[in-house]
Structure 1
Amino acid sequence: MTEEEQVVDLLSAMVKIPSVAAKEGQVADLIETFLAPELKAGLIKRERISYAPGRDNLVLTIGNPNAQRWLGVDGHMDVVDPGNVNKWQFPPFSAHVEDGKLYGRGATDMKSGLAAAVVAFKQAAHEKLDHGIQLMATVGEEVDNDGARQLSAAGYGDRLTGLLVAEPGNSNVDAAERGIIDYTLTAHGKAAHSSRPDLGANAIHGLFAFANAALTATAPLQAKEDPILGHATHNIDIIHGGNQINSIPESAYLRGNIRTTMIADNDAFIAALKQAAKTTVPKGVRLSLSIDSVLGAAAASPDNDLIQLVQTARQRAGLNRGQVAYRTGITDAALFYHDGLDLAIYGPGNETSHETDEYVTLKDVFDSVKVFKDVFMNY
């Protein structure tokens, strides 16, 4: 079987597993089966770290166990929900191949990157390396980076000097990503007939007061321009309240999403939200703020050693060097990031992540295997 056939077989098998915040253990099984000869020969060391039943993180290592330089390679095994399957040109978990493209949920985000990394890892396992490589296949990235949080807390990122996250990049080589805050603001009021608002306390009016205060309080932070990550953003994306048109709502909530930078960071935004939650509200209304999920920004130098190594590998594979950029979205990177860590977020894929008819171009995957192998050998 050729290398390209191996890649397509592995990727197809991965995409056929509907690992929507579940069943990542089956993806880990596929990877272990693919690497069985190397595992049996002791060329690859393996650990499975259980997150929940049927949901295991997989950590694989090769190279010099006493190395000073360790390259971490990260890829998640879960995918987002496919949505209305009837809108798909091909069933979302069929891994249909047509005109040089493989279609399916997770084809771009990010089973293609994980499959390419695993194939390159298998090849590198047969080489003598003076450094170490630690491949981490994680669970629950699409929900709250569950697996990466677990591995990070257990110290799996501590020895890393570099981190390659195989997320789709559309040929970009990213050196940074913004942080994230998800929050919920709940307003508690008192129900009453709409003809007698004086007898109640309108929770929705409390939401309006908070929303105005929060957008005002965070505006100065959004105005700051980070030299790498640009401007932070703050959006209120969900609002819910009320039960009936002729009743004063006794409760209501809104949810907001913030993307932070190194100079407009999570602490500054959380402080602004807490201040906004103290704003004046209608009599009888009480506000409560919940910070639901937090992940810090991660920003390495745009010309760090790993970025340059990826660019050089692309050139040797007959590709352009790739534009250095940053991510507005998040990956597992921030969980493993620490000062001095070389960071590159790079992998096969395009802008169809989370979309209907998500696909990846197979040539992109084949090229990524070459780039990853080059990086693994020369780190």
Structure 2
Amino acid sequence: MIATPQSCQELLAHMVGFDTVVAYHSGVAEAERKLSDYLAGLATAWGFTVRELPIEGACGNLLIEHCIDPTLPWLMFDSHMDTVGVEGMTIDPFGGEIRDGRLYGRGACDTKGTGAAMLWALREYAAGSQKPRNIAVLFSVGEEHVQTGARAFVEQHLALLDWTPAGVVAGEPTQMQVLGATGGFVRWKMTTLGQACHSSKPDRGHNAIYDMARLVTALEDDYIGKIRATHPLVGNASAAITVINGGKQVNVVPAEATITFDRRLVPGEDGQRELNAVQALAAQVAASRPGMQVTHHQFESAPPMGTVDGGQFANQAVTALEGVGISSEVAGEPFTTNGNHFAAAGIPTIVVGPGDIAQAHTPDEWVSLEELDRGIAGYAAIMKS
């Protein structure tokens, strides 16, 4: 029996009650499965078409469709079901408690709140008379680790559909500000390889930490410090060495040292080009130091999200929000979302949703009920505009 919510608040409380900590962190291969099944049953009971879009080794994306007329364009809304971990939380992460005008729990803000508001707005849209387009809501998986679901949708699932979105609204907590551009990234590990030996006779080995120290200095002076790319909405491109490891014990010269390098991209930059530049610099450093070896591995990337249609979709969304009393403007952020992958596939994409990113991933994560109501009104306005 599907628990039928009587309000969007109740729907969100149900959604928060499901443990959907991302599989990469939890080790649960289909972390979103129970929530996906609940939403599929609810959407079916409400008269929508439901299908699961499979992903090998993971829970599939859940697609909810409301087709008015096959000849009309489709607008798709996306919200990810997975969350970050719950360690250190000061509230019941799955309680969905409502107090002082807020709903608490892991994912309440990032970003089950957007999903609940989208589905509730679709319910209102379907019951109304103003229906100028077909609407789909995609509940995607694995966003908190390299946007698994969004990648699968553009690389595999689009080909399975008999329609292509004319636009995508990706849900993230933006306080209902419309993001028309966001940052991308390319990140990977670099390892220097030496030769271990007893530290009482270090000349018999090759110290990988010394090599890594040279590489880190070169990266800071000759690459990171020279990044100049900027974007009017997203801001400045950047890079950082975020993790470093090396050595096993105090009396052994280390045979390996590893860093994690995080290069943040702005629209107009190419991740492969930046990767090539860093690899060339690392090769130059290695060539100048006898015995030094550098390997590159564990690559991850996401393209930056720029405007596909000259900003027309974003501007239309701002106008629609203003029509229901939500003041917004086209903005940008340096972080990465599912929207990056939809835009890279050539689909006009914006990022907008209820909640404040400052509350995401926090020990007492919450979303205000006022923001949730604004999300419903805003999404419904975009659907109808």
- Fold in common (TM above 0.5): yes
Letter in 1 for 2:306: A
What is the alpha-carbon root mean square deviation over aligned residues?
A: 2.4
Equivalent of 1:355 in 357, 362, 365: 362
Matched, 1:300 2:307: yes
**Structure 1 residue runs without a partner (length 5+):** none
| Structure 2 equivalent of residue 344 of structure 1 | 350
2:141 maps to 139
Cα distance in structure 2, aligned partners of 1:68 and 1:237: 47
Q: What amino acid is aligned across from residue 27 of structure 1 in structure 2?
A: L
- Per-residue deviation at 1:291? 5.0
Contact 1:175/1:301, CA 8 A, preserved across alignment: no
Which of 235, 238, 241 pairs up with 2:240?
A: 235
Q: 2 CA distance for matches of 1:262 and 1:312? A: 24
Q: Which moved more, 1:182-191 or 1:65-74?
A: 65-74
Check if 1:309 corresponds to 2:316.
yes
Residue 29 of structure 1 deviates from its aligned partner by 1.9
2:367 match: secondary structure: strand
Aligned to 1:298, what secondary structure does the other structure show? coil
2:112 aligns to what? 111
Residues 243 and 220 (structure 1), Cα distance of their counterparts in 2 relative to 1, 3 Å cut: closer
CA separation in 2, counterparts of 1:103 and 1:52?
33
Does residue 34 (structure 1) correspond to residue 42 (structure 2)? The answer is yes
- Tell me the distance in 2 between the aligned counterparts of 1:76 and 1:339: 18
* Structure 2 counterpart SS, 1:288: strand
Q: What is aligned with 1:154?
A: 156
1:213 Cα shift? 2.7
1:1-379 equivalences in 2 (<5 Å): 5-21=6-22, 22-39=30-47, 44-51=48-55, 55-64=59-68, 66-67=70-71, 69-85=73-89, 88=90, 90-127=91-128, 129-156=131-158, 159-219=164-224, 222-281=227-286, 282-300=289-307, 304-319=311-326, 321-338=327-344, 341-350=347-356, 351-378=358-385
1:235, 1:258 within 8 Å by CA — same for their partners in 2? Answer: yes
Contact 1:190/1:285 (8 A) holds in 2: no
For the 8 Å contact 1:38–1:125, the answer to whether it is kept is no
- Structure 1 residues 72-81 or 343-352, which shifts more? 343-352
Shift of 1:217: 4.4
Q: Deviations over 1:328-360 (max 9, x none)?
A: 111111111147643221101111111111110
Name the SS of the counterpart of 1:107 in structure 2.
coil
Is the 8 Å Cα contact of residues 96 and 103 (structure 1) preserved in structure 2? yes
CA distance in 2 between counterparts of 1:123 and 1:221 reads 51
Cα deviation 1:281-316 (Å, max 9, x = unaligned):
443331101252111001117983332333233323
Q: What SS class does the counterpart of residue 135 from structure 1 fall into?
A: strand
Aligned residue identity for 1:102: L
CA contact (8 A) 2:175 2:354 kept: yes
Q: Compared with structure 1, are the counterparts of its residues 155 and 5 closer, same or farther at alpha carbon in structure 2 (3 Å cutoff)?
A: closer
Greater Cα offset, 352-361 or 264-273? 264-273
TM-score (norm 1): 0.90
Instruction: State the AA in 2 paired with 1:299.
Output: G
3-state SS of the aligned residue for 2:46? helix
Percent of residue pairs bearing the same amino acid type: 25
Alpha-carbon distance change, 250 to 338 in structure 1, aligned in 2, over 3 angstroms: closer
Residue type at the aligned position of 2:343: Y
Secondary structure of the equivalent of 1:174? strand
How far did 1:14 drift? 0.8
Counterpart secondary structure, 2:53: strand
> Given residue 138 of structure 1, which amino acid in structure 2 is its aligned partner?
S
Q: Secondary structure at the match of 2:257?
A: strand
* Gap change, CA 1:49 and 1:343, over 3 Å in 2: closer
Quote the Cα distance in structure 2 between the aligned partners of 1:54 and 1:64.
31
Secondary structure of the residue that 1:186 maps to in structure 2? strand
Q: Return the offset for 1:52.
A: 5.4
Cα gap change, 1:25/1:370 in structure 2, threshold over 3 Å: closer, same or farther? Answer: same
Judged with a 3 Å threshold, the aligned counterparts in structure 2 of structure 1 residues 303 and 168 are, in CA distance, closer, same or farther, namely farther
Deviates more, 1:294-303 or 1:202-211: 294-303
* Deviation for aligned residue 1:64: 4.2
Q: Displacement, 1:209?
A: 2.2
Q: Which residue identity is paired with 2:123?
A: K
Q: CA deviation at 1:4?
A: 9.3
Aligned partner of residue 368 in structure 1, secondary structure: helix
Distance 1:23 1:73 in 2: 21
Measure the CA separation in 2 of the matches of 1:301 and 1:227: 16
> Taking structure 2 as the reference length, what is the TM-score of the superposition?
0.88
Report the Cα distance in structure 2 between the residues aligned to 1:150 and 1:347, rounded to whole angstroms: 22
Query: Which amino acid counterpart does residue 75 of structure 2 have in structure 1?
Result: L
The runs of 5 or more residues in structure 2 that have no matched partner are: 23-29
Q: Supply the AA of the counterpart residue of 1:289.
A: H
